[in-house]
A and B are shown apart, each in its own frame.
Chain A
């Protein structure tokens, strides 16, 4: 079963961690200082944007220093009691297996609202009395919720790695996977990721699926994606949710508008629903959602959006009875969107010609492009004299003439007849 590359190629030693040399050094020195005496700060607070290797660094550190890592996510420390019971105890006692242990509170941003206030309070107590290093990780250490916590922590900022650092990491992965890549393709992926290594690696895996050779063409569609990772997670939740509410909730997390989400869902249903009956039901749900989309467009009655959303999320999720694809199935960017964007230049040209026709014929540009243009094409291809007359009358540019005639020689002939 294929493994996500973010896990398969996870750094196992601090040496392999991408970027952030200074921050890593600061962390290492702090952990070393525990050997002498309990340092001033009993906890380190690592912060920085997602996907740049904060958690990976702590995991690699534990491995390098042969420490037992006790890793806790937000769900483990929601309440005061949970923090005391698990971390409070763990921070007072040695490990059963290795000489030292380190406790990691990951995804601190996941703490929400007043329900978790007790959790933060208990965490401060745990840190004050800790007898082993504690590491906290969050995206934003300066969130007001963490104001008290900050006083007890050594703050370590992790910055986004540079594009060349990300590229080097991607190149290493390609080497290990035996994939040839175009330098430009890697650069493109690295740039798109904006320093988010995790999403860069996810992108790389998505484009490398079933290929031994990656070119710039293969990655160019990534250009349209906007925080792909988020949408991947949303899609996974929609496709594999067991409840209606789970699937509907996922849609609210998507950062794309409902129209775009519909495209994503439509594109990816066939690869994620392998049972034909389930696939039919899922596509049926999407089709009905699309009917509502049409009605919204036509009537501008946006209250229909809820039906569209429910059908395309819950409707799709409920189509699954039991089947599950074996192994890891990647998500793909909607081909319809990339096709549209590839044909963008052509559509622009058509509309420009349409506007020229509009001025003379008093019909809309869209209608002109759709209804008049095909006839012009036939004329331009067959009757240069008549074409020249029309071109002059419509005031077409040479590029337009070439676009309509689709032929170098014909274009030259028409241009000669007009006299340009």
Chain B
């Protein structure tokens, strides 16, 4: 077994929400634990979406890591264990050197300690997609989430379009359609920078899952996209660190 690690978060809810946000894309997640912090980059099985997560060690109450290690765990199982945690509970993850298992210690009104297996880490290094973004929009997470839900009422995919004035979500189902417009400078669309007008179509299933899960961790999201290129949704983290998703565009029939 290589290096050991131990880290503690004083607000268990933070960890719970983050694990939930990652688990929408991957069941088995391989985290990189380094002396600088915790990170993960992973794709869903269909390779349509990717999550890019980073928590520097400043997010943690305590953070000990002697050498870079991979920590692969089943997120569903971990989520089960920490689902009942609340805000003022304290949670500590560590590797038990003797058994090679992950120890999850939750301290609240009482102390509970779980062990769970560490899985074989995946060797795949997921690179960061290199995309020349032409649109950059800053939005309130809850407002955008609402709009995505509404578009989901009529279709399973949505076209996101932007020009210098506005951001438009256009959903066309078999029988129904929806157009949702955000004017620049409104309470939902806080900022909009457009190098050139762009549009691309994305899966509403993924978008709504992502918005739902990530909104628990963030109030502001930055969307970046270009015509027929992947979109990047960067959820601003007040406590520091990064939670961003990439989503591939739908192939439009010619």
Residues of chain A having any CB pair with chain B under 8 Å = 37-38, 68, 70, 85-90, 92-97, 101, 131-132
Query: In the assembled complex, which residues on chain A have CB atoms less than 8 Å from the CB atom of B48?
Result: 89-90, 93, 96
Q: Is B80 an interface residue (CB 8 A)?
A: no
Counting contact residues on chain B (CB < 8 A from A), the size range is 20 to 34
Determine which residue in B45, B228, B246, B249 has the highest number of CB atoms from chain A within 10 A of its CB, and name it. B45
Query: In the assembled complex, which residues on chain B have CB atoms less than 8 Å from the CB atom of A131?
Result: 250-251, 253
**How many angstroms between the C-alpha atoms of A132 and B43 in the bound complex?**
19
Q: Chain B, 222-254, contact with A by CB distance < 8 Å: what is the 0/1 string?
A: 000000111000000000000000101111011
Query: In the assembled complex, which residues on chain A have CB atoms less than 8 Å from the CB atom of B134?
Result: none
Q: Is B2 an interface residue (CB 8 A)?
A: no
Given contacts A96-B49, A96-B50, 19 further A-B contacts (CB under 8 A): A37-B254, A38-B254, A70-B46, A89-B46, A92-B250, A93-B46, A93-B48, A93-B203, A93-B249, A94-B230, A94-B250, A95-B47, A95-B248, A96-B43, A96-B129, A96-B246, A96-B248, A101-B47, A131-B253
Q: Which of these, A38, A93, A97, contacts B129 with CB under 8 Å?
A: A97
Closest to A92 in B: B250
Q: Which of these, A68, A85, A96, contacts B45 with CB under 8 Å?
A: A85
**How many angstroms between the C-alpha atoms of A88 and B228 in the bound complex?**
19
Determine which residue in A38, A92, A101 has the highest number of CB atoms from chain B within 10 A of its CB, and name it. A92
Query: In the assembled complex, which residues on chain A have CB atoms less than 8 Å from the CB atom of B246?
Result: 96
Determine which residue in B48, B203, B253 has the highest number of CB atoms from chain A within 10 A of its CB, and name it. B48
**How many angstroms between the C-alpha atoms of A94 and B45 in the bound complex?**
14
**How many angstroms between the C-alpha atoms of A89 and B156 in the bound complex?**
12
Q: Are B251 and A96 in contact (CB under 8 A)?
A: no
**How many angstroms between the C-alpha atoms of A94 and B249 in the bound complex?**
6
**How many angstroms between the C-alpha atoms of A347 and B29 in the bound complex?**
63
Closest to B127 in A: A97
Closest to A129 in B: B253
**How many angstroms between the C-alpha atoms of A97 and B203 in the bound complex?**
17
Query: In the assembled complex, which residues on chain B have CB atoms less than 8 Å from the CB atom of A92?
Result: 203, 250-251
Q: Are A96 and B47 in contact (CB under 8 A)?
A: yes
Query: In the assembled complex, which residues on chain A have CB atoms less than 8 Å from the CB atom of B129?
Result: 96-97
Give the tally of cross-chain contacts (CB within 8 A): 53
CB distance from A135 to the nearest CB of B (A): 16
Q: Are B250 and A93 in contact (CB under 8 A)?
A: yes
Closest to A87 in B: B46
**How many angstroms between the C-alpha atoms of A90 and B203 in the bound complex?**
11
**How many angstroms between the C-alpha atoms of A292 and B86 in the bound complex?**
65
Closest to B249 in A: A94
Q: Tell me the B43-67 residues at the A interface (CB within 8 Å).
A: 43, 45-50
Closest to A72 in B: B45
Query: In the assembled complex, which residues on chain B have CB atoms less than 8 Å from the CB atom of A85?
Result: 45-46
Query: In the assembled complex, which residues on chain A have CB atoms less than 8 Å from the CB atom of B50?
Result: 96
Q: Are A132 and B47 in contact (CB under 8 A)?
A: no
Query: In the assembled complex, which residues on chain A have CB atoms less than 8 Å from the CB atom of B43?
Result: 96
Top 10 closest pairs, chain A to chain B, by CB? A131-B251, A89-B46, A90-B46, A93-B248, A93-B48, A94-B248, A86-B46, A96-B129, A86-B45, A96-B248
Query: In the assembled complex, which residues on chain A have CB atoms less than 8 Å from the CB atom of B253?
Result: 38, 131
A-B contact pairs, 20 of them (CB 8 A): A68-B47, A70-B47, A85-B46, A88-B46, A89-B48, A89-B203, A90-B46, A90-B47, A92-B203, A92-B251, A93-B46, A93-B251, A94-B229, A94-B250, A95-B47, A96-B129, A97-B129, A101-B47, A131-B251, A131-B253
**How many angstroms between the C-alpha atoms of A34 and B80 in the bound complex?**
45
Query: In the assembled complex, which residues on chain A have CB atoms less than 8 Å from the CB atom of B203?
Result: 89, 92-93
**How many angstroms between the C-alpha atoms of A92 and B49 in the bound complex?**
12
Query: In the assembled complex, which residues on chain B have CB atoms less than 8 Å from the CB atom of A70?
Result: 46-47
**How many angstroms between the C-alpha atoms of A89 and B254 in the bound complex?**
18
Q: Are B230 and A96 in contact (CB under 8 A)?
A: yes
Query: In the assembled complex, which residues on chain B have CB atoms less than 8 Å from the CB atom of A96?
Result: 43, 47-50, 129, 230, 246, 248
Query: In the assembled complex, which residues on chain B have CB atoms less than 8 Å from the CB atom of A38?
Result: 253-254
CB distance from A168 to the nearest CB of B (A): 33
Query: In the assembled complex, which residues on chain B have CB atoms less than 8 Å from the CB atom of A93?
Result: 46, 48, 203, 248-251
Query: In the assembled complex, which residues on chain A have CB atoms less than 8 Å from the CB atom of B45?
Result: 85-86
Q: Are A132 and B46 in contact (CB under 8 A)?
A: no
**How many angstroms between the C-alpha atoms of A89 and B25 in the bound complex?**
13
Determine which residue in A37, A38, A85, A89 has the highest number of CB atoms from chain B within 10 A of its CB, and name it. A89
**How many angstroms between the C-alpha atoms of A89 and B202 in the bound complex?**
11
Query: In the assembled complex, which residues on chain A have CB atoms less than 8 Å from the CB atom of B127?
Result: 97
CB distance from A79 to the nearest CB of B (A): 13
Query: In the assembled complex, which residues on chain A have CB atoms less than 8 Å from the CB atom of B47?
Result: 68, 70, 90, 95-96, 101
**How many angstroms between the C-alpha atoms of A85 and B209 in the bound complex?**
15
**How many angstroms between the C-alpha atoms of A101 and B43 in the bound complex?**
15
